[in-house]
Amino acid sequence: MKKSRGLRKRSRSLLKKKARERGKTGLSSMLRQYEAGDRVLVRLDSSIHKGMPHTRFHGKVGIVEGRRGDSYIVMMTQGKATKQIIARPEHLEPFRG
């Protein structure tokens, strides 16, 4: 059988939710607003596939650059490079730290 090379490969434990987190995602996470310059934490919500950034950015902190439609443009560093990811607000949280 051919080896799987999809975007969600090797993410079984990474995207698994705890028992009390399962079910529908609340509206407050979808309606959250961010301004340019806000620091956000990327936490992928595995129940919503639309607007999900790559799994390598899960748990990382970035800076909101602007909007693109319903999504946000987030600047992140990966090594020495800076990456621009596009993520919907369900996959972002305000960074408290």
Map out the domains of the chain with their CATH numbers: 27-94 (2.30.30.70)
Q: 67 - beta bridge partners? A: 72
Coil, strand or helix: which one is 91? helix
Q: What letter would DSSP give residue 3?
A: P
In sign, the C-alpha dihedral spanning 42, 38, 69, 22 is positive
- Give residues with Cβ within 8 angstroms of 10, minimum separation 6: none
pLDDT (tens, 9 = 90+) of the chain, 97 residues, equals 998 888 888 889 999 999 998 988 889 989 999 999 999 999 999 999 999 999 999 999 999 999 999 999 999 999 999 999 999 999 999 999 8
pTM: 0.89
H helices of 8-93, in order, are 27-30
Q: Which two tokens stand for residue 92?
A: 């972002």
What are 6's two structure tokens? 């999809």
